[in-house]
Amino acid sequence: MKKKEVLKVSNEENLRLIRFLYCDLAGVIRGKTVHGSQLDSKIYEGVGLTRAQNAVNLFEDLVAVDGMEPVGEVRIVPDAETFVVLPWLDRTGAMLSDLEEKDGSEWAGCTRSVLKRALASLDVQGIEMMSAFESEFYLAQPSENGPIPWMNGPCYSSSGMDRASEVTDRMVDNLTAQGIVVEQAINEYGPGQQEIAIKYGPALQSADRHLQFRDTIRGTAEVEFGLLASLAPKPFKDGIGSGAHLHFSLWDKEKKVNLLFNEEKPTQISAFGESFVAGILEHLPGLLALTCPSYVSFLRLQPHAWAGNTISWGYDNRECAVRVASPFKGREMQSINLELKACDGSANPYLALAGVILAGMDGVNRGLKAPMAAHRDPAFLSEEEKIACAIRPFPATQLEALAALEQDQVLTSGLGELMTRAYLATRRAENTKATQKGDEWARLETFSTF
């Protein structure tokens, strides 16, 4: 949709408020709201925002970051192609936005621009990324003692689907109303845990769609049903964790061919694919700081949790950090893809996708070779097999992952100097506070943030 079309729809729908949204370094969807009467100018010029806002961390603390002080402004400039009318609200629309300098140039603190730069580097090589985030989430009732899981049933059961259907059906309707294609909707393992999978698309669109998905799940639960929805990685101490598994494939733009496809062995990935996997594995310690970035993320990354807790890969191996998802018969070329299981709902999707591109393409450009694929849960491999598969442990904490990110020149170069400094400072401040307050405090504080 073009800007003139947005103005036309806004007038026809008599929209009262239009949100200019962006995702900050902490993975929080933030923004400002414009009255419909002001849209015809603000859609072009944007809305002012203090530079300091991107130095506000996950716990709403303003962290001292040089270059992100409360002096000077940037502009929240909406992308008209992301315009939607929000079906759970009255006369309200929204657009995802870039953060720009006042002269219209790119601001180094804009996370969406980090992904755009990574995609531009692919485009130069004639490559396009297709991707989707596969999100699990919990539904809960608020109570004086904290959130209580809402509805339950055996995993993937018709009874479990029935019990949550009043809410999940409405979520599916609200997603569909925004042009988001829903592929699956099921009840998951944990009490009150659900999963709704949406269709893949070009990487920038998939990141935008993921943010719209998050807003829709949370907004529908809260506004229409008085419930809480949590996409947090480990919202309940004794509950199953929730992922936002990142599925992706890379395509030759001219030939329209999936570069992961192995024509001689259609159920296995190509040499290109193995090099891409090798790049992800090499950079995974630092990459985790982008894909599993929160303090609570590391409460989920445990053995036998289907979250991946080792640097490993395998074919349809859900205990590995990187899974080769088996293709569908007759559509092998189109459907074979990689899944990064070590990704969760606290991640900024622009930074997560950019990190995957930077890491994977470093493997391709250097001709790295992947180790042997793990044929079972890495914890059950023999010592000889672990060596052959190059199994290594994850960073054990958020701080260890941040330290690995700081030392990773490929990832930090892609983020840029200001983004790297701000990211490390704000995340380390989060860790200090969460460590002082404790795991349960951190869980409750971020239960429905994402």
Domain containing residue 47: CATH number = 3.10.20.70
Q: Are residues 151 and 62 in the same domain?
A: no
Q: Are residues 298 and 275 in the same domain?
A: yes
List per-residue pLDDT tens for the chain, 450 residues long.
899 999 999 999 999 999 999 999 999 999 999 999 999 999 999 999 999 999 999 999 999 999 999 999 999 999 999 999 999 999 999 999 999 999 999 999 999 999 999 999 999 999 999 999 999 999 999 999 999 999 988 999 999 999 999 999 999 999 999 999 999 999 999 999 999 999 999 999 999 999 999 999 999 999 999 999 999 999 999 999 999 999 999 999 999 999 999 999 999 999 999 999 999 999 999 999 999 999 999 999 988 888 889 999 999 999 999 999 999 999 999 999 999 999 999 999 999 999 999 999 999 999 999 999 999 999 999 999 999 999 999 999 999 999 999 999 999 999 999 999 999 999 999 999 999 999 999 999 999 999
What are the Cα distances from residue 370, in Å, to 247, 292, 373? 19, 23, 8
Q: Are residues 120 and 246 in the same domain?
A: yes
Q: Tell me, what's the pLDDT at 305?
A: 84
Look at residues 108, 131, 158 and tell me which one is the last residue of a structural domain: 108
Q: Kindly state whether residue 10 falls inside one of the protein's structural domains.
A: yes
Positive or negative torsion for Cα 338, 342, 345, 346: negative
Look at residues 108, 128, 161 and tell me which one is the last residue of a structural domain: 108
Q: Are residues 169 and 289 in the same domain?
A: yes
Residue with tokens 């991640």: 347
d(CA 425, CA 58): 12
Q: Tell me, what's the pLDDT at 152?
A: 87
- Domain count along the chain: 2
Q: Tell me, what's the pLDDT at 162?
A: 93
Pairing of strands 92-100, 182-187: unpaired
Q: Are residues 147 and 100 in the same domain?
A: no
Q: Kindly state whether residue 447 falls inside one of the protein's structural domains.
A: no
Q: Kindly state whether residue 47 falls inside one of the protein's structural domains.
A: yes
Q: Are residues 94 and 149 in the same domain?
A: no
d(CA 92, CA 85): 6
Which pTM does this prediction carry?
0.97
Look at residues 108, 141, 176 and tell me which one is the last residue of a structural domain: 108
Residue span of the structural domain in which 17 resides:
3-108
Q: Are residues 189 and 251 in the same domain?
A: yes
Burial class (CB in 10 A: 0-12, 13-18, 19+), 399: middle
d(CA 157, CA 189): 10
Torsion of CA 252, 254, 255, 261, to 10 degrees: 10
Q: Kindly state whether residue 450 falls inside one of the protein's structural domains.
A: no
Q: Are residues 43 and 123 in the same domain?
A: no
| 395 within 8 A of 362, measured Cβ to Cβ | no
The enclosing domain of 264 has a CATH number of 3.30.590.10
d(CA 152, CA 139): 10
d(CA 119, CA 56): 27
Q: Are residues 92 and 230 in the same domain?
A: no
Q: Kindly state whether residue 448 falls inside one of the protein's structural domains.
A: no
Q: Kindly state whether residue 449 falls inside one of the protein's structural domains.
A: no
Pairing of strands 92-100, 73-78: antiparallel
Q: Are residues 387 and 404 in the same domain?
A: yes
Q: Are residues 35 and 140 in the same domain?
A: no
Q: Are residues 326 and 399 in the same domain?
A: yes
